[in-house]
Structure 1
Amino acid sequence: MPSFGPVYTVEPRPGHPHTHTAVLLHGRGSTGEEFADELFGTALSNPQTPSLADCLPSWRWVFPSAPSTWNATFEEWMPAWFEAHSLADPTARQDLQQPGLQASVQHVWDIMGHERQRLGEVGEAREAASLADAHADSRLVLGGISLGGAVALWCLLGTDAPMRPLGGFVAVSTWLPFAEDIRRCLYMPQVEDGPLALPALVQRLTAPLRQHLQLQKAAAGDADTSVLTTPVFLGHGRDDAYVDVQLGQQVRQLLADAGFASVEWHDYEGAEQEGHWLKEPEEMDDLARFLATVGGPSRGM
């Protein structure tokens, strides 16, 4: 994989202490900075807080950038987290997807570790002030759009710490690469070889969550605080011309079947970019409301 691009950050508004962090991944052909400009330029309905940054002034926004790779479909170099041979059929040439997915997931995990440490330091600094929720993970949100959302889903399902929930997870206009393999890996862990062999990368990715699900099943009735309690927001355009809405619904069903306790599903019509963007202002309002209610006090909604 070529080198990843720069990480673009937007700090909390002046005068507002840092309370939360969102790590958000752009789609194919974009960059972290372009995604930030477009996201914050998509308006909410309230003119007093027209953007997410205005609505959540104490948040730090982190926008990683994908590497520039050769796209065989478009026959040009473009930023992409992994090679998606066909969005109409995400199962086509899945062998091309694996190297980029693996490298991108590790890159995002590294960034999240850094942001988790920053939030932990913030919590320690404010302990005397009795910050309501000093646990860093509960104030960390991960998300993405399109290819970025696909990588974010892999990061969520491939967490190496399934007992540690995030404050929230957001995926819009996206799908889950290797969805059927991941489903089989989570629910049919005994299928490891033969004609139904699962890709080794998928087995490694899901191993911690698979083990957690097995332990949870064995201890039925016990209280559970884990990645499965991470609140999830899924948004998709009913008229999305690039990623069919049924692929988004597939993500919703898989997460629900895996045991995620809170999965919000929203679909919209008439968004920009042929339905492959966030609907303005309805989806932005829904997203802002979701973010303001997860991970403790947001101080600004």
Structure 2
Amino acid sequence: MASQSEQARLGLTTTTLPSYAHKKASTDPPGQFPSPLVFPPHHAHRQTFIILHGRGATAAEFAPPLLDTATSAGEKLQDVFPHAKLIFPTASRSRATIYKRSYTHQWFDHWHMNEPAKRQELMRAGLRRSCEYIHGILEREIRDVGRENVVLWGLSQGCATSLTSLLTWDGEPFAATIGMCGYLPFANHIEDIARGSNSDAEDLFGNGDDDPFSHSGDEDDEGCIFGREDSVSQDRPTQAVAFLRDEIEIGGENRMVFQNIPVFLGYGIEDEKVPIEIGREAKTCLGLLGLMLR
């Protein structure tokens, strides 16, 4: 487990419910990720859960009801996993377009949930920053407790961020990803490319003779163009994930590591905020990309 000095350097704060119950989200500087709330394990540290809240919430608001929820047998999360450290990050505050540009905690900006295919450009910058941030937490926890003992978990927009972080992860496979009542950003484009049913892949990688750069001499000896593998050598799922990586301009290698990480998706059919149809679309996309869905 990381030392206190290491936790301080990483911005991790170990706390308990009473110490943050009255934390005011409005004091968080715009554009910065507040220190995550970290609940130490009841016993020796053997697992880590990284749990992301939904849009408009904070870790301080999200953690208490989750930790207080009990199973039919009366067991709570920390009773069932006494060796798990629970990390609750908080999204940075930024202007939300649909809220007339007022500030809120959100992992990324986006348009209305009943029109998920519109204004998708709003998601790019926030998703890149949030995925890089979550990747950093994953890397540190994997170093501390081992890749087979780290779980990434998200609700609503936190689910969307978890899934995007999963698809763009280029480290070693970790234990699992859990998504609750969420969706997959750019799902319509990802599905089209994975099915081979539109020209998004050609728009991204070039389409032969119509591509002005296809014979420009900018290819290296291994057939790469501008650092990306030539689409001719990529299967459709790989092209779809390469599209996502390019869309949010995130670095790293497109290693398709997520195909070796189990994913569980859960949904409430009466969810009033996120239509279940886009949850089902996420499931379809992930299946096309070769994920191990549970």
Residue by residue over 1:214-240, the C-alpha shift from the partner in whole angstroms, topping out at 9 and shown as x without a partner, is xxxxxxxxxxxx532322111111111
Between the aligned partners of 2:149 and 2:94, the Cα distance in structure 1 is 33
Structure 1 counterpart of 2:86: 61
The match for 2:247 among 202, 205, 211 is: 202
Please state if 1:233 is matched with 2:264: yes
User: Which residues of structure 1 form unaligned runs of 5+?
Assistant: 120-135, 213-225, 265-301
RMSD: 2.5
Question: Is the 2:128–2:248 contact (alpha carbons within 8 Å) kept by the matching residues of 1?
Answer: no
Superposition pairs of residues 90-109 of structure 1, within 5 angstroms: 90-109=116-135
State the 4+ residue runs in structure 1 displaced beyond 2 angstroms. Answer: 180-195, 197-209
The match for 2:182 among 167, 171, 174 is: 174
Please state if 1:36 is matched with 2:46: no
Between the aligned partners of 1:184 and 1:203, the Cα distance in structure 2 is 18
TM-superposed CA distance for 1:254, in Å, is: 1.5
TM-superposed CA distance for 1:30, in Å, is: 1.0
Structure 2 counterpart of 1:256: 287
TM-score (norm 1): 0.69
The AA in structure 2 aligned to 1:17 is A
TM-superposed CA distance for 1:118, in Å, is: 1.6
Please state if 1:77 is matched with 2:103: yes
For residue 69 of structure 1, give the secondary structure of its aligned residue in structure 2: strand
Superposition pairs of residues 1-301 of structure 1, within 5 angstroms: 2-13=31-42, 16-47=43-74, 49=75, 51-75=76-100, 76-119=102-145, 136-161=146-171, 164-186=172-194, 188=196, 189-192=201-204, 193=206, 201-202=246-247, 208-209=253-254, 212=256, 226-261=257-292, 263-264=293-294
For residue 141 of structure 1, give the secondary structure of its aligned residue in structure 2: strand
Between the aligned partners of 1:31 and 1:252, the Cα distance in structure 2 is 26
The AA in structure 1 aligned to 2:269 is R
For residue 84 of structure 1, give the secondary structure of its aligned residue in structure 2: coil
The AA in structure 1 aligned to 2:159 is G
Between the aligned partners of 2:244 and 2:93, the Cα distance in structure 1 is 26
Residue by residue over 1:27-48, the C-alpha shift from the partner in whole angstroms, topping out at 9 and shown as x without a partner, is 011112221112112221112x
The AA in structure 2 aligned to 1:39 is L
Between the aligned partners of 1:206 and 1:190, the Cα distance in structure 2 is 21
Identity of aligned residues (%): 28
For residue 87 of structure 2, give the secondary structure of its aligned residue in structure 1: strand
TM-superposed CA distance for 1:18, in Å, is: 0.7
Structure with more contact order per residue of length (Cα contacts < 8 Å, sep ≥ 6): 1
TM-superposed CA distance for 1:182, in Å, is: 2.5
TM-score (norm 2): 0.70
Question: Is the 2:150–2:174 contact (alpha carbons within 8 Å) kept by the matching residues of 1?
Answer: yes
Between the aligned partners of 1:104 and 1:117, the Cα distance in structure 2 is 20
TM-superposed CA distance for 1:22, in Å, is: 0.7
Residue by residue over 1:45-94, the C-alpha shift from the partner in whole angstroms, topping out at 9 and shown as x without a partner, is 112x2x11111111000111111112232233211111122111122211
In structure 2, the CA distance between the partners of 1:250 and 1:229, relative to structure 1 (3 Å rule), is same
